[in-house]
Amino acid sequence: MAKIVLTNASITINAVDLSTYANSVTVTYEVDSVETTGFQDTGHTFSGGLQNVSCEIALMQDFAATKVEATVYPLVGTQTTVVIKASSAATSATNPSYTLASTFLASHTPVAGSVGELSMTTLSFTGGTLTKAVA
Amino acid sequence: MTNYKVLTNMLADCKEGDLVSEKDFAGANIDALVEAGHLSIIHKAIKEETDK
């Protein structure tokens, strides 16, 4: 298996392809560990609980119609679907697609940055359910 | 079911000018897509008139 340098990741937020505006993405797949330790156990034991997924995406800001800000602003406080792939190529076993369904966007920073810096907005989607597709 | 016209080339699996419905965007926030200018609502009466 080849090692991968991310150069062509695919970022789709609420069905809108914002790949060319993103320069950082992190999908975190986590399942709550529910303690099931009982008397007479000799160590902690756990079972898997609910998914606790999140996705953080950094986007270069664009206020033009239908671009970054116009797309993201109406999503704050709502649930949506985010789809991430390591490459924009077709979904396959070597390029799986990760879909966060019903994930919640709590905040968006329309204007953020210091003088001389690129204007960015970092989105943190939390909750929902993550599924992985290979075809 | 409400139908929509795609106004941009930024939507997954769609291109500008396509006619779509809610089921084409399962899991997406359709109102947000309309507000952002990616979709416009096609009212049934207008669509029927267009189809003639």
Q: What percent of chain B shows pLDDT beyond 90?
A: 63
Q: In chain B, which residues have their Cβ closer than 8 Å to the Cβ of A71?
A: 10, 32, 36, 38
Whole-prediction pTM value? 0.91
Sign of CA dihedral A52, A58, A63, A64: negative
Per the CB < 8 A criterion, the answer to whether B16 and B8 are in contact is yes
- What fold characterizes domain A10-32+48-133? Elongation Factor Tu (Ef-tu); domain 3 (2.40.30)
CB contact under 8 A, A101 and B37: no
Q: Tens digit of pLDDT for each residue in A69-110?
A: 999 999 999 999 999 999 999 999 999 999 999 999 999 999
Per the CB < 8 A criterion, the answer to whether A97 and A114 are in contact is no
| Domain-wise residue ranges, chain B | 3-51
User: ipTM exceeding 0.95?
Assistant: no
| pLDDT of B7 over the 60 cut | yes
- Summarize the confidence of residues B3-31 as an average pLDDT: 93
> From CA B5, how far away is CA B24, in angstroms rounded?
12
Q: In chain A, which residues have their Cβ closer than 8 Å to the Cβ of B23?
A: none
